[in-house]
Structure 1
């Protein structure tokens, strides 16, 4: 009893410790509303250059763009660094509610061979420039017809440039977008005479500026856009070609417009930026089918089991008992420890750790703490929660290890703390080396890598040992029936009850519960869209849990009825096999939806999808295993044995 109280207290302390840094991650700088007075200085911050074709982000100043006198990095959390975000200041500065025309961003720049080559490569790979103003990403405005309504949507960022032929039949040339026409949307507050920024739009132009360069240090006078004559750039001027020894002038306009959108709703338009909108009816219909099938399976199982238990308990003579077949006959072997019991304990422990992280993360996301406005908060929360959930991993792993008559609990604990994260870290490290070789900003720097290792060995591993210590100190889980010393011979199984076939069949239904939602998750990750429907995701997750539990119980029941008592590993693999279908779907998505052509980018995609699929295997496998464990213990505890 004392151990129970101590473990409960320890769990509460670990949970509170986990929530503290996560809560800190939620309230990032710039998330709270800011009120601006007329004339207040606004500075645009620059972020990474991103491309859906290469999936390799680069720093903004890796190209020959204008720099401020001193480049300063903004504070970044762990999630932002892992995503490759590099937020820095820029020379684009203006005052609130003061329109400006044709401002010079910096002095005239002359392109050398290396700069011209870099611009051409980024244009070929469809790179887009990302900027931020008051925590809002810059976007190009688009209109989409939806029925009789015209919706305004955003496409995040703007292209580095364009490749086209000026006249029909001429050679295609590269042109850089060197003039940015910003539009800042603001919502005024008439009571306190301040305003809040609710939109940040841009129209990029490629303009070969005409100018006269004075002999003194004064700024050159532009003829292509003249602030004195109120002349805007309209796109009628010749474009600025990317060419060696070509002089480029970077300019920008800024225009302020009032908006009826309130600050609390300013992200709504950004969240509609995807062309492939969620078809709610289709998804709900699919989920209802899954729920219907799961309900039917549960009803059939409960009715059949009720009849089995009633029949077994009504047997009166020994002859009747000897003639009886089914799952009752293997009662003396069903709780026999499986082969590689220690490895099963390791994966069960890691699955519980991953499950705890997922549930808590989704709860906070459900309440809006992990919205896209909190850049990097989702990944930061997941990593921190995973580290602090190590205590439940050690506890659950050691409980099963002791039930399987294991003695070397320290060795089992070490494997629990190292096997799953070790495999993930090795894959991640190899991928990071590839990214580093491409000189991408997505490469995790040494300091961040050290922080990840510290979270693993400094927090997660000790908590796994603490949980394992208290778990092993508790009395072992008692089996409802005794196990014979001599194993029972398993009769020959039908082809459809073979392990490989039943395991592969068992993963179809859990995958079917999530594959529609999986499309939007992959789109948000690899096509750089915002994912925000966490409420619906939570419902899908609950359906996934129910589906994994039910399909594993059903197939386990059929297996025991055929007098095959090797259910431990099969229970884990049945629902865990849905990860195989997830990876196959990711392969299908790669060839049908993405335009990745580079070898390194393809390796990155499949490497990260291996990590995601492996994590999904551990998560779903553990859910199915616990459901089957509860089911087997319940049915054998309900039958009388001599």
Structure 2
């Protein structure tokens, strides 16, 4: 009984420790008022095509210190992500309006053609702040809809318009230190002690819990723009109306860019800041497609099962009517499921190929189970970009040991313990279904 109580205390201590534990790369960042916030740009993406393009492949404003790539993992590279710094400057809890960013060079024929193609293909601009992608919020038919990123531009009456003014809204929450707790043994029982200190609950800064963007197409005054420098305040009022368009794109003309940012305190906690991305438009269609596929598979499997069961029952009824002597006389003329019993224990025509396919099947199954397990623990959350793909590749490579063992074991089972050729089978498993 004493050992059981000790194990209970240990488990309780572990769970209390996890309460204050953050996964690598997912811990909250504390920003004091006036601290600089780094906005990063990601690759341009589209729902109409799977080809991503670099953000600076279009005539957008470039940072004064030059373009710098952020460190990326293998999963991000395979997914087409390319994080780079941006010219947008934010300061914590510092609202800024009518900030002029830059005036691009006059568009050449190639740039004008590329920009029109990106607009026709519905490419989206993706921005990141504190590892949160920028989302577009819109109210339609009484529902609050979310989209990741914002479109490069739009086409209206054979004219192309670009969204050159961005209205950012950063949702922030007061920084809260995680509460830590521990367990100590006291005689025959356990006592829970906490290390919460009311004096430590004072706000030490803010955490970013949301990043929203509203794109607008605004026509600036050309004479005024020529006199402004980067980060100067635009002298005239900029009305950001996402419904109307004003900045049309034409060859040999520059495109002025501007932005504004506001900070709003929110009740959203840092641990729940990804909930908005799970409610985005398109998630229902995705789940409906999965459910529809599962229903079709289940329906077809049920049909095959019914046909198989009817065939087996008919053959069984036929065999029971025949006596043993009659069965011995016509055994060669019979055809049905009962004759397949003898073929089950026979070595197939190509046992090596069967072993390789079974081994790779276990490999993919092991990869899927391990990925689901670690994803459920939070190690592959959306906050860690590329972690899911990287984890799948790692688990697939690691499960190659399992695939080789299963293939060799199955081959020895079918050949009666003959281990000749096991090295060739193990080698072929790794090449049959490569990464």
Q: TM tier, shorter chain?
A: 0.7 to 0.9
What's the secondary structure of 1:104's corresponding residue?
strand
1:355 aligns with: 365
Taking the aligned partners of 1:214 and 1:414, their CA distance within structure 2 comes to 67
Q: Residues 555-574 of structure 1: matches in 2 within 5 Å? A: none
Q: Cα deviations across residues 508-552 of structure 1 (Å, max 9, x unaligned)?
A: xxxxxxxxxxxxxxxxxxxxxxxxxxxxxxxxxxxxxxxxxxxxx
Does 1:36 find its partner at 2:31?
yes
| Aligned residue in 2 for 1:59 | 54
CA distance in 2, matches of 1:186, 1:196: 5
Question: Quick check: 1:128 aligned with 2:135?
Answer: no
Displacement of 1:214 in angstroms is 7.2
CA–CA distance in 2 between the matches of 1:342 and 1:47? 46
- Determine which structure has the larger helix proportion and give its number: 1
Question: 1: CA distance between counterparts of 2:369 and 2:337?
Answer: 34
Change (3 A) 1:133 1:374: same
State the Cα distance separating 1:316 from its structure 2 match.
11
Quote how far apart the aligned CAs of 1:121 are.
1.1
Shift of 1:99: 0.5
**In 2, Cα distance between equivalents of 1:58 and 1:289:** 37
Check whether the contact 2:136–2:146 (CA below 8 A) recurs between aligned residues: yes
**Structure 1 residues 134 and 388 mapped into 2: Cα distance closer, same or farther (>3 Å)?**
same
- Confirm or deny that 1:248 pairs with 2:255: yes
Aligned CA RMSD, in angstroms, stands at 3.9
Greater share of residues in strand:
2
Alignment of 1:65-144 (within 5 A): 65-68=60-63, 69-106=65-102, 108-144=104-140
- Residue 398 (structure 1) shift: 1.0
**TM-score scaled by structure 2?**
0.75
1:216-238 CA-to-partner distances (Å, cap 9, x unmatched) read: 9797773443xxxxx65446997
The whole-number CA distance in structure 1 between the counterparts of 2:98 and 2:125 is 20
Whole-angstrom CA distance in 2 between matches of 1:52 and 1:214: 37
| Alignment equivalent of 1:157, drawn from 149, 159, 165 | 149
The one of 163, 166, 172 aligned to 1:180: 166
Counterparts in 2 of 1:197 and 1:239: CA distance versus 1, 3 Å: same
> Distance in 2 between the 1:265 and 1:160 partners?
29
Q: For residue 42 of structure 1, give the secondary structure of its aligned residue in structure 2.
A: strand
1:107 to partner: Cα distance:
5.0
Q: Using the alignment, how far apart are the partners of 1:127 and 1:37 within structure 2?
A: 35
Give unmatched runs, 5+ long, in structure 1.
1-25, 166-171, 226-230, 426-642
Cα distance, 1:184 vs structure 2: 0.7
Aligned ranges for residues 55-454 of structure 1 at < 5 Å? 55-68=50-63, 69-106=65-102, 108-145=104-141, 150-165=142-157, 172-189=158-175, 191-193=201-203, 194-210=205-221, 211-212=223-224, 222-225=234-237, 232-234=239-241, 239-275=246-282, 277=284, 283=291, 290=298, 332-405=342-415, 407-421=420-434
Give the drift of 1:328.
5.6
Cα separation, 2, equivalents of 1:262 and 1:411: 56
Tell whether the 8 Å contact from 2:167 to 2:215 is kept in structure 1 after alignment: yes
